[in-house]
Chains A and B, each alone.
Chain A
């Protein structure tokens, strides 16, 4: 036993003296330790040999000529040759600027807003104040029109420059210093700006931010559970957002919305309608917000005219004149052609994300379906070529990439480390009549995705039974490139999910998935993510009678000492009681916060474009939308299932170990209990293997989560809570706040993501994973999430593309909601960790969104490496 090295999460394991051959140089030792740490291997001569091989591969990788492709502004994927047709000069330059510009912060918006609030707060109703503030900023903000741009408009003064939103959460001087200096997801800000913020912005907002309103109110039980990491709260950092649009803005301009508002105002009945005064303020605010969007566009038109005067290239002069014409027409009027349609959406997008900082930016929804009529009309008329259409769409794509997510403050900075702001463009799918929604524009978008290879916007393909194989295969070819997208959704199931939530058939069919995987009725629903629920942590406090073993503090309720539990059923009941308690805590505060937004941070511009806010005279945050959903995102189904399976089998059925022994081992992070840990990991049926024993536990937990959350009223008229099974990157944070778990997972390591199996637990290949996953009834959720990592060798031949398509079709026939694939290999990922500069373009898909591997923190990187590799020879 003396030579056995216990793997310790905290420190890098050291190779024993004498085992390391001379051939491993000093600088390789760090890499070697990383390798051992990440692969969880016991150090033997064999480990060292394997590592050496891998190290050679890494060296080969980092020496490949593909690096030159970066310098040329192209993308590359290690081990593959870039064969795309390439982009034109304009797109190449715009892309380069977007990719190479370091994100920075602008205090302009905060300065305008603070000055405006100082002068006007208290002089008008809150909705009108918000709208006036938006209008004021649109009048004053720096307008940007970059060289070569066709689609115009930036939220900040230039690409990749992000404003702040002090009315929601006011960054401190310390926050700025952290943002300015941290290695990952850095945001540059000058000391002069920090000083000015300290003098002009911070003092005004002290005690008045949404965040402070929320934290001054929360009950102690909530605080205890929140601090233990049992759940997160989305709305303490950003405004509830998560919105996607339908097709109305391609049929109606702002002037039409203004007419609708005026008609409503004229018909107000102050004698009989008790809400008449409130409605009047809402409508006035919406009307002002429409003006703000028009002003913003007009200023771009003027700037284009101005630039045309000094421009010497006649081709560019014509473009600038065209830009001026487009910006004078939209968003005031409905678009007449493809260019105007794209610019229309972009102005609406910018309006919503400038007015307030909603979660997940904004989303055009089924963008290909909205653009297709314009495209088809113009192609027929001969006023547009396919290449011109593709160029405009590429310009739009780059615009989205110019907008990194505004940085957060405090604790949740650990939860999600990414610039991604989660705009997720839905491609393909079904149309409002239930027919196939794919068009030539869908294929153009796939080409744009493959050629641009940028972080944002996120994109997904929607494959119904009616979707042609041609589109599925074209999508699979993009997936094969290994950039981690598009992710794949099943409209046939999510339409059922929406119908079950009470949407009309038409609204359900026009709905889709936004953010990561969550469903909503596009353009007609506020479906707010309220926070993640740490389901394995609920089991952890159950095993400790309500105490959080990590801190020793009370986090839940007393449900008894598990050592005294005689059956598995008693244990499970105790778990359910904790679950109910935690969910109740979560909901009561979410409801309170919801109300705070309705009162203090209404969103009049967003309300204009979401049905039925105008008709109802109510704000987006105040029950104005046709549908109002609050989502709780449940994390860690794999971890909790495997832990319950381990206890059920080894403690209650086979009595391999006593509860006492397992609990003690877990508290010690399995130190000195490697035999027990290995036995559990290798001798327990785990979720993801098409094994009834584990899968039945997963189904039971899933159904009880549905039972506990789904259908509970939120505080909006007709509004309800639903659950989805999204984790984004929160499973990493949740893992950090947890000790070891009975499934053999070590303390601090990630819990399982979405509805995916625990890392490395699925050992029977993707078809078995698919079978396990579809034992859950996805229709009862608002979205599930399955990550599958594929090594490139699974996608070598054209025939393999078809087989991947068939795997997807099989999953969807069985009722799966979403699947996505990571085509990467371990050596590449290790190499990327070792030499980040050489792998700047390495994009990895995980947990519902795309990110650059090098932008992730070490924990996320480790997780990508740990994912089960499904290789076949």
Chain B
């Protein structure tokens, strides 16, 4: 039975495609964006998350750890990552869920069972399921099974991808997908590599191919102050989108928000958290105007 590592399934999601949706978050990503607001989505392995605010310093986890990797102090627990095998015992016994394992291996029927619970809301709202991540396309085998199953059951399917994947895989997925939420970070290849760890050649090529195939695409741009919200990048993006072979996609701007800081802390990755500027209303309005010059409809939020 094929399984995928899922780190969250969110119900009553109203910002990830049309209608009321379920969002299934796959764990593991092949980009490493500096502003990532789901830092737990990057690693393709289960991770231990610890929230000191919830911890009552009871020490239950210390006794339960088979590797004696946990020590307790006034400040809470510390886990020796050298000893920890990510077995998850500590999370199982933690009375307050201060420790949680991010990432759970789930089978297609398990995931479908949760999706199916929301059917009445799909029916009433024209909603459906959105597969997100991480990068759902690196789990293409399970993703395709899920897409096929949803297709059979008449559930609307959206895939939220950064497009950094081999083109044939993307096209396999595209033939089973009703809507793509395609994340486009920036146009300059060097800058793209600097901020995400990877160039954007493949991404741009895939977007063209996808557009050419007639896929329904919404472009999502995480607008990060001082990174990609400058006029040059917006113009380049607009030009590129205007030149796509298929229908001109609409653009959803997702302004950066420093909401994820606590998640970095929970993962013990405080050092990796970089605080960016939140683009103001003026910057957002300007971007929308720039896109409009190229005949592209842009809006804030999705």
Contacts and interface: CB of A to CB of B under 8 A. Distances in A.
A813 B58 CA distance: 46
B117 interface: yes
B295 to A, nearest CB: 23
A847 B95 CA distance: 31
B20 A1 contact: no
Contacts of B57: 1, 3-4
Interface in A39-66: 41-42, 44, 46-47, 50
B257 interface: yes
Interface string A756-775: 00000000111110010000
B14 A800 contact: yes
Interface string A681-713: 011000000100000000000000000000000
A380 interface: no
A803 B14 contact: yes
Interface in B1-49: 10-15, 19-20
A221 interface: no
Contact of B120 (A674, A803, A814): A814
Contacts of B95: 674-679, 682-683
Contacts of A809: 124
Looking at chain B's contact residues, the main secondary structure is loop
B259 A765 contact: no
A270 interface: no
How many residues of A sit at the interface, in one of the four size bands? 35 or more
A765 B117 contact: no
Given A678-B96, A765-B12, A796-B301, A1 B120 contact: no
Given A4-B56, A44-B53, A810-B125, A765 B96 contact: no
How many residues of B sit at the interface, in one of the four size bands? 20 to 34
Interface string B274-302: 00000000000000000000000000010
Contacts of B88: none
A310 interface: no
B118 interface: yes
A872 interface: yes
Contact of A675 (B58, B74, B123): B58
A46 to B, nearest CB: 5
Contact of B56 (A47, A678, A797, A870): A678
A463 to B, nearest CB: 12
Given A679-B95, A682-B97, A797-B301, A807 B60 contact: no
User: Chain A CB within 10 Å — which of B12, B20, B96, B301 has the most?
Assistant: B12
A293 B140 CA distance: 77
Contacts of B12: 765-768, 807, 870, 872
B121 interface: yes
Given A682-B95, A800-B14, A803-B19, A674 B117 contact: no
A675 B56 contact: yes
Interface in B89-118: 94-97, 117-118
A806 B124 contact: yes
Contacts of A802: 125
Interface string A803-841: 100110110011000000000000000000000000000
A47 B53 contact: yes
Interface string A417-436: 00000000000000000000
Nearest to A809: B124
B149 to A, nearest CB: 20
B257 A873 contact: yes
Contacts of A807: 12, 20, 121, 125
Looking at chain A's contact residues, the main secondary structure is helix
Contacts of A46: 52-53
Contacts of A1: 57-59
Contacts of A870: 12
A363 B25 CA distance: 50
B121 A872 contact: no
A654 to B, nearest CB: 13
Contacts of A675: 56, 58, 60, 95
B270 to A, nearest CB: 12
Contacts of A678: 56, 58, 95-96
B55 interface: yes
B230 interface: no
A94 interface: no
A194 B107 CA distance: 74
B58 A767 contact: no
Contacts of A797: 301
Contact of A803 (B20, B117, B118): B20
Interface in A840-873: 870, 872-873
Given A767-B118, A807-B20, A813 B13 contact: no
Contacts of A814: 120
A873 B115 CA distance: 20
A765 B11 contact: yes
A615 interface: no
A797 B94 CA distance: 39
Contacts of A872: 10, 12-15
B269 interface: no
B20 A42 contact: no
Interface in A739-794: 764-768, 771, 794
B124 A813 contact: yes
B276 to A, nearest CB: 16
A195 to B, nearest CB: 58
Contacts of B205: none
Interface in A250-298: none
Contact of A767 (B20, B53, B56): B20
B121 A41 contact: no
B11 A810 contact: no
Given A46-B53, A674-B56, A872-B15, A813 B117 contact: no
B141 interface: no
A850 to B, nearest CB: 25
Nearest to B15: A872
A454 to B, nearest CB: 31
Given A3-B57, A4-B56, A771 B301 contact: no
B202 interface: no
User: Chain A CB within 10 Å — which of B10, B19, B52, B56 has the most?
Assistant: B56
User: Chain B CB within 10 Å — which of A3, A678, A807, A870 has the most?
Assistant: A678
User: Chain B CB within 10 Å — which of A44, A794, A814 has the most?
Assistant: A44
B290 to A, nearest CB: 22
A768 B52 contact: no
Contact of A41 (B15, B19, B53, B123): B53
Contacts of B257: 873
Interface in B53-67: 53-60
B259 A794 contact: no
A790 to B, nearest CB: 10
Interface string A80-103: 000000000000000000000000
A767 B14 CA distance: 11
Interface string A19-51: 000000000000000000000011010110010
Nearest to B72: A1
A768 B118 CA distance: 8
Contacts of A799: 14
What are the nearest 6 A-B pairs in CB distance? A678-B95, A806-B125, A765-B12, A679-B95, A767-B12, A810-B124
29 contacts: A4-B56, A42-B55, A42-B56, A46-B53, A47-B53, A678-B56, A678-B95, A682-B96, A682-B97, A683-B95, A690-B117, A767-B11, A767-B20, A799-B14, A802-B125, A803-B19, A806-B20, A806-B121, A806-B124, A806-B125, A807-B20, A809-B124, A810-B121, A810-B124, A810-B125, A813-B124, A872-B13, A873-B257, A873-B259
Interface of A: 1, 3-4, 41-42, 44, 46-47, 50, 674-679, 682-683, 690, 764-768, 771, 794, 796-797, 799-800, 802-803, 806-807, 809-810, 813-814, 870, 872-873
Given A1-B58, A44-B53, A873-B15, 9 more contacts: A679-B95, A682-B96, A765-B11, A768-B117, A797-B301, A806-B121, A806-B125, A810-B120, A872-B15
